[in-house]
Amino acid sequence: MVLWPQSITSRTPPDLEEVRGRYAALFSRFAPAPEGIEFTPGQLGPIGGEWVGAPGTAPARTVLYFHGGGFVAGSPETHRPLVGRLVEASGVRAFSVKYRLAPECFFPAAVRDGIDAYRALLAKGVPASSIIMAGDEAGGGLAFSVTLAVRNAGLELPGGLLALSPWSDLSLSGPSMLNNRKSDTVLEWEMLFLCARHYLRKSNPCDTYASTVYAPLTNFPPVMVHAGAQEILRDDASRLGDRCADAQVPVSVEIYDGMGHLFQVESGRSEAKASLARLAQFIRAKSAALAA
């Protein structure tokens, strides 16, 4: 599935508006949100976003979701199809966070927004063990960064953490960045390099709150990570799994053969259905003690 009219590996590096346009093209190719899912504007403390639910979803359980878009694009609205499918499959409501984007607001603004949203959920009386951190691409990396901030702040940890095709190394050092450059039809090194530059400004790309592949993940909650074998972020996913295993954190990393970036939005694919079923099973299992 080719999403861009021309390759971004041209001789002229892309500018920010071009990258945002290409993310918009990606989001426009998402399959429609499932019927029966309700999207309601909401607020968690100072952080805006929207609640995603359906009749019968358990209000005592919450997926705190961070959308992708390279830290420069995307919103809860663009990711309704993906978040809606997770809610539909799991039966657990979600809050999709409208965190601040670069370059207008740069690192660590998004991390601060994430932990503020988490604190607000706790203040509402939602048990930490009933919260599942989740996200895709930049939002997947952000879910790890926010969990790291939660742990380091001494707050009670969420019940689980899941990520779809997480971008967790802003230094872009994973071998798949080059090895998969021809098979990934969605993301490319130059595109992510520009996003990282605008998000980080002068911060170190190996800062652990920016790139959790360099963070000690001791005492993290159980983790599930899914990615496609053909995407350039494949090794970000597998390296997160290695870091979790090193820290003796329960972890499942699933790399789907023949699949590209965010294949879960292609509703007709059997691999997408299998991935969503596995993610939903994880959400229910790690939030099973929460419902009441």
d(CA 276, CA 82) in angstroms, rounded, equals: 10
Structural domain harbouring 277: 16-286
Structure confidence at residue 288 as a pLDDT band (50, 70, 90): low
Apex 125 CA angle, 124 and 130, nearest 5: 110
pLDDT at residue 168, as a whole number? 98
DSSP line for 128-155: GGGEEEEEETHHHHHHHHHHHHHHHTTP
**pTM metric for this prediction:** 0.94
C-beta separation of 184 from 239 below 8 A: no
**Residue 241 lies inside a defined structural domain of this protein:** yes
C-beta pairs of 147-152 under 8 Å, 24+ apart in sequence: 147/220, 147/221, 148/208, 148/209, 148/212, 148/215, 148/217, 149/111, 149/114, 149/115, 149/209, 150/115, 150/118, 151/219, 151/220
pLDDT tens digits, 239-265: 999 999 999 999 999 999 999 999 999
**Residue 291 lies inside a defined structural domain of this protein:** no
**Residue 2 lies inside a defined structural domain of this protein:** no
Strand order in 251-256's β-sheet? 38-44, 47-53, 92-97, 58-66, 131-136, 160-164, 223-228, 251-256
The average pLDDT across 200-208 equals 97
Structure confidence at residue 2 as a pLDDT band (50, 70, 90): very low
Structure confidence at residue 14 as a pLDDT band (50, 70, 90): confident
Q: Is 40 left (phi over 0), alpha (psi -120 to 50) or beta?
A: beta
**Residue 138 lies inside a defined structural domain of this protein:** yes
Give the domain CATH number at 226. Answer: 3.40.50.1820
The average confidence (pLDDT) of the chain is 93
Q: Is the pLDDT of residue 21 over 60?
A: yes
Query: What token pair was written down for 86?
Result: 């997770």
169 vs 292, higher pLDDT: 169
pLDDT at residue 5, as a whole number? 32
Q: Which residue has the tokens 């707050």?
A: 155
Structure confidence at residue 58 as a pLDDT band (50, 70, 90): low
For residue 14, whether the previous peptide bond is cis, meaning omega lies within 30 degrees of 0, is: no
Q: How many CB atoms lie within 10 A of CB 77?
A: 12
What percentage of the chain's residues is helix, strand, coil (to nearest 5)? 35, 20, 45
What is the tally of structural domains in the chain?
A: 1
d(CA 185, CA 290) in angstroms, rounded, equals: 40
4 vs 207, higher pLDDT: 207
pLDDT at residue 175, as a whole number? 96
pLDDT tens digits, 104-152: 999 999 999 999 999 999 999 999 999 999 999 999 999 999 999 999 9
**Residue 106 lies inside a defined structural domain of this protein:** yes
pLDDT at residue 11, as a whole number? 43
Structure confidence at residue 25 as a pLDDT band (50, 70, 90): very high
pLDDT tens digits, 59-79: 779 999 999 999 999 999 999
**Residue 4 lies inside a defined structural domain of this protein:** no
**Residue 242 lies inside a defined structural domain of this protein:** yes
**Residue 3 lies inside a defined structural domain of this protein:** no
